[in-house]
Amino acid sequence: MKRLTITVLTAAAAISLAACSERAQNESAEAANAVAADTSATTRNAVNDVDAATDKALNSAERTLDKVGAKLENSGDAAADATGNAMVAAGQKLRDDK
């Protein structure tokens, strides 16, 4: 009788452990899926943030280069005007000195 009771209790314990183990496996799988989804969302957000920061930096660099180009163009025009005026003045002086 004692052996039968021990055998029945052992079988019951094994069955409940197997059921508990399956439930634990399911819960672990669900937790892993939740962590994977959170990681994916966080990674996606990080990529979007990096893309936005890169776009902002490149736009700023482009605006700065446009301003520098405009200043160079203006200074080149001013230098050309000054050179032209100096040449005209030199030509007039040469004509006047004759």
> Which residues span the domain enclosing 9?
1-98
pLDDT digit string, tens, across residues 30-52: 888 888 898 999 999 999 999 99
Residue type, 13: A
Record the pTM: 0.51
CA–CA dist 25, 3 (Å, integer): 32
Average pLDDT over residues 50-67: 95
Number of H helices, E strands in the chain: 1, 0
Portion of the chain with pLDDT greater than 70, in percent: 80
Q: What is the mean pLDDT of the chain?
A: 82
Would you state the pLDDT for residue 15?
64
Please give the torsion angle defined by the CA atoms of residues 64, 65, 70 and 76, in that order, rounded to the nearest 10 degrees.
130
Identify the DSSP state of 1: -
CA–CA dist 4, 11 (Å, integer): 10
Q: How many structural domains comprise the chain? A: 1
